[in-house]
């Protein structure tokens, strides 16, 4: 995969990024050596954009990613982290995490989108990463914190951008409506949109993506596999969608898409990874991986686009609307 940057003025992201939630032991444990091997494999395959967050394993992902990137030329990769969940000592002491990460920790997460909170969070992230800067800082899931996020967090990060401390200010969410407000009413450069513009469903198409294109705000597609549903060509009965068991009708739709993919000599994950790039507002995609093989498969999938006939048949089958742009 070519490691070209696709910057739009302010946002230095590359086409495919590695989302490092798995390095924080998302759902299951991975070792330090496994984490290092995945990042090494991503680097060797040409990936030069990496995304993490304090939320991922309560700092474990940041520590592991920073260690794996140590010694790499800093000018050759783009790194993003997130703010909004401040890690503080837990008065209850050491305990197992209850938010999806297989870690034992003496810290807890506190929602904080205040100016002081996001600056403190970023400083702590840099310490865990072992770096002196990150390129992009996202507000992480400010769904219930609009007033503080837009009134304090965004201005604090914009000031850092103007000082040259960071390159871009972003917001990362699993919905499109509130990010649209950030695009309209604040000075964000990029939105990481998870699961709302995928091969399976495109609720962000009508309003959000045209808004971003008009305002010059980049969109990084995350959750392109809809939390696993589109990650395998053979869709299993126990597939997940939006982090819960997928309904039967959703599984059936995914299988119908997979069947069309097979008729055109490609796979469901390949089509799912390519799909968001059909819209001009989408400048990058971030995908996770737990193993070296997974990251190599994802990179290989972007080597060549699916044949145009695939998208035409999906439209004919009623699986894509006529107005949905395709690669």
CA 149 and chain centroid, separation? 20
| Residue 316 CA: distances (Å) to CA of 29, 310, 312 | 43, 10, 6
Give the SS3 label for residue 266. coil
User: Distance between CA 256 and CA 238 in Å, rounded?
Assistant: 16
Q: What angle do CA 72, 31, 59 make, to 5 degrees?
A: 70
Cα(284)–Cα(110) distance, integer angstroms: 30
Is-catalytic flag, 27? Answer: no
Residue 101, strand partner residues: 26
Round to whole Å and give the CA distance between 296 and 69. Answer: 18
The radius of gyration of the chain from alpha carbons, rounded to an integer in Å, stands at 19
DSSP 228: G
Point out the catalytic residue in the list 56, 138, 197, 243: 56
d(CA 325, CA 174): 21
Count Cβ atoms within 10 A of the Cβ of residue 65 and give its class: 0-12 exposed, 13-18 middle, 19 or more buried.
buried
* Structural contact between residues 238 and 250, judged by C-beta atoms closer than 8 angstroms: no
Indicate the angle between helix axes 115-129 and 154-162, nearest 10 degrees: 60
Give catalytic residues, as residue numbers: 56
């Amino acid at each position: 995969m070519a490691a070209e940057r696709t910057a739009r003025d302010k946002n230095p992201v590359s086409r495919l990024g590695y989302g490092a939630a798995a390095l924080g032991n998302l759902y299951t444990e991975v070792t330090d050596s496994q984490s290092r091997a995945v990042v090494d494999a991503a680097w060797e395959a040409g990936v030069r954009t990496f995304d993490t967050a304090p939320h991922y394993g309560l700092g474990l992902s940041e520590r592991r990613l920073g260690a794996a990137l140590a010694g790499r030329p800093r000018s050759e990769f783009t790194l993003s982290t997130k703010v909004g969940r401040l890690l503080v000592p837990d008065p209850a002491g050491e305990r197992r995490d209850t938010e999806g990460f297989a870690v034992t920790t003496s810290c807890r997460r506190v929602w904080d989108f205040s100016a002081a909170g996001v600056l403190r969070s970023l400083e702590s992230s840099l310490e865990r990463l072992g770096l002196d800067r990150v390129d992009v800082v996202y507000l992480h899931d400010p769904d219930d914190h609009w007033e503080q996020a837009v009134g304090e967090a965004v201005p604090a990060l914009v000031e850092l951008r103007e000082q040259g401390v960071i390159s871009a200010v972003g917001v990362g969410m699993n919905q499109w409506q509130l990010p649209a407000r950030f695009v309209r009413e604040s000075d964000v450069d990029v939105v990481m949109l998870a699961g709302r513009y995928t091969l399976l469903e495109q609720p962000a198409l009508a309003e959000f993506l045209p808004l971003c294109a008009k305002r010059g705000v980049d969109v990084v597609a995350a959750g392109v596999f809809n939390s696993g549903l589109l990650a395998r060509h053979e869709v299993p009965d126990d597939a997940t969608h939006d982090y819960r068991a997928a309904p039967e009708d959703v599984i059936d739709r995914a299988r119908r898409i997979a069947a069309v993919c097979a008729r055109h000599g490609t796979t469901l994950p390949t089509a799912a990874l390519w799909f968001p790039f059909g819209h001009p507002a989408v400048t990058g995609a971030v995908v996770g991986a737990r193993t070296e093989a997974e990251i190599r498969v994802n990179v290989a999938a972007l080597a060549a686009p699916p044949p145009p006939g695939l998208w035409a048949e999906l439209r004919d089958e009623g699986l894509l609307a006529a107005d949905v742009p395709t690669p």
